[in-house]
Amino acid sequence: MAKKGLRQVDCAGKRTLVRVDFNVPLDKQDSTVITDDTRIRAALPTIQHLVDAGAIVTLCSHLGRPKDAPDSSMSLAPAAERLGQLLGIEVPMAPDCVGDEVAQMRADLQAGQVLMLENTRFHREEKKNDPDFAKALAGDAELFVDDAFGSMHRAHASTVGVTEYIDVCVSGFLVERELEKLPPAREAGGDGFVVIMGGAKVEDKIDAIKMLLPRAERMIIGGAMSWAFFKAQGKEVGASLCKPDSVEAATEILANMAEHIDRLMLPVDVNMLQVDPDTGETKFAPADGIEPGWDALDIGPETRELYGRAVKDATVVFWNGPMGYFEKPPFDEGTVALAQALAETDAYTVVGGGDSAAAMNQLGFEDKVSHVSTGGGASIEFVQGDSLPGVDALDDA
Ligand code: ADP
Ligand code: MG
């Protein structure tokens, strides 16, 4: 299971391909402006290590969801520029990620230089893990470093395919840290293991719920996915976010997991907003008190108490997904309360998921938990016990 890491290889003068996660948020009006460069900063230790060691560095990444073709609004050029500023060196931008011109740019690189390839998802072959594309992307590299944990649950050309054509394949420092910090949550089970599932889509997390419910002492449900369970139980959900796919998934869980259902904790009260007519009025209501024309946007105060106590008594906590519409106060109160509970408990605490991690960072709590994962889907799949293709593809230690 242990994988070879960057410290275990000699990278001096090595032609190196690094898979980074530069899938950064861009300004909606101006796609050349990066609104949060956390992911670029997070990759610096690995890149700096390679530069200092005199490796010849080519970086690749995806950004956004281009429709299998070049799309200038999802170019990695702004990321290359930002990286250059942070490293204090010029980071030239390749016009593509494969092709003759790019191969020549890579061949011309000197020790300690860094080249950024264009968005791998501009080619449909990336997601198909096409062998010819993977071979071209691997290019002349002798060393592959994967530092994009958030993509390791996908068997794409840039995460798995390239490893067929590169001699030595190792984890970067970010991935190494994930593989050190996540196992206690992956191995946890029984008394004291508390899983918190929130966010909007039950259908996205149904596999995780199915795998983790039998393993956990308690599974706390929050966020809009609660309303899917409410609806499945025949409760009124008013104007709350509650999609048919989510209700179907919740119904399936309630029906098929009856023997474990007492471990599932659902909100006992909610905070809701009147939308029809839109008065801006908010009020708390018990779980069975959501009314037509009202939008339940957060868990209520009694639920915060209840969930907080469950976290306090835990030994291992895994949290994925916010408790409500936390971007819009006062509907952040449930998420804040749980974040606080996580910060205060003695338990081993892991937070995964883009929005939950963002909430943790916004509150300045990232150092008060055991680990904030850089991967959303990847961290859930890892914790639920699945093997990640991108991890499997690396050399054993
Ligand atoms: P994560 O990225 O942590 O896995 P998700 O992407 O599944 O989380 O869900 C987060 C989104 O769900 C957030 O934008 C949040 O505002 C939204 N959300 C959570 N609860 C509600 C709710 N009750 N009503 C509307 N939106 C909600
Ligand atoms: Mg999200």
Q: Is the CB of 246 under 6 A from ligand 1?
A: no
Residue 296 alpha carbon, nearest atom of ligand 1: 23
What's the DSSP call for residue 93? Answer: B
Average pLDDT over residues 74-84: 98
* Gap between the Cα atoms of 343 and 360, Å rounded: 10
Give the fold, CATH level 3, of 182-383.
Rossmann fold (3.40.50)
Give the model's pLDDT for residue 10: 97
143: helix, coil or strand? strand
Instruction: Tell me how far the alpha carbon of residue 4 lies from the centroid of ligand 2, in angstroms.
Output: 30
Instruction: Tell me how far the alpha carbon of residue 357 lies from the centroid of ligand 2, in angstroms.
Output: 9
Percent of the chain residues past pLDDT 90, beyond the cut: 90
Give the model's pLDDT for residue 396: 97
Please report which confidence band the pLDDT of residue 356 belongs to, taking 50, 70 and 90 as the band edges: confident
Ligand nearest to the CA of 199: 1
Average pLDDT over residues 122-151: 98
Does the active-site annotation cover 354? yes
CATH, domain range 6-176: 3.40.50.1260
Q: Is the pLDDT of residue 357 over 90?
A: no
Cis peptide before 277 (omega within 30 of 0): yes
Residue 357 alpha carbon, nearest atom of ligand 1: 3
Give the model's pLDDT for residue 358: 82
Q: Determine contact, residues 79/61, Cβ cutoff 8 Å.
A: yes
The model's pLDDT over 281-306, given as tens digits with 9 standing for 90+, comes to 999 999 999 999 999 999 999 999 99
Percent of the chain residues past pLDDT 70, beyond the cut: 100
374: helix, coil or strand? coil
Residues of the chain with CATH 3.40.50.1260: 6-176, 182-383
Mean pLDDT score across all residues of the chain: 95
Please report, as a single letter, which amino acid is at residue 363.
L
Ligand nearest to the CA of 205: 1
Q: Is the pLDDT of residue 1 over 70?
A: no
* Gap between the Cα atoms of 235 and 252, Å rounded: 16
String of b and e for 34-56 (b: at least 16 CB within 10 Å)? beebebbebbeebbebbbebebb
Give the model's pLDDT for residue 66: 96
Among candidate residues 336, 318, 294, the one with its CA nearest the CA of residue 372: 318
* Gap between the Cα atoms of 379 and 173, Å rounded: 16
Does the active-site annotation cover 4? no
Does the active-site annotation cover 189? no
Average pLDDT over residues 134-147: 98
Please report which confidence band the pLDDT of residue 206 belongs to, taking 50, 70 and 90 as the band edges: confident
Average pLDDT over residues 305-332: 96
Distances (CA, A) of 337 to 217, 301, 340: 21, 9, 5
Give the model's pLDDT for residue 363: 86
Does the active-site annotation cover 364? no
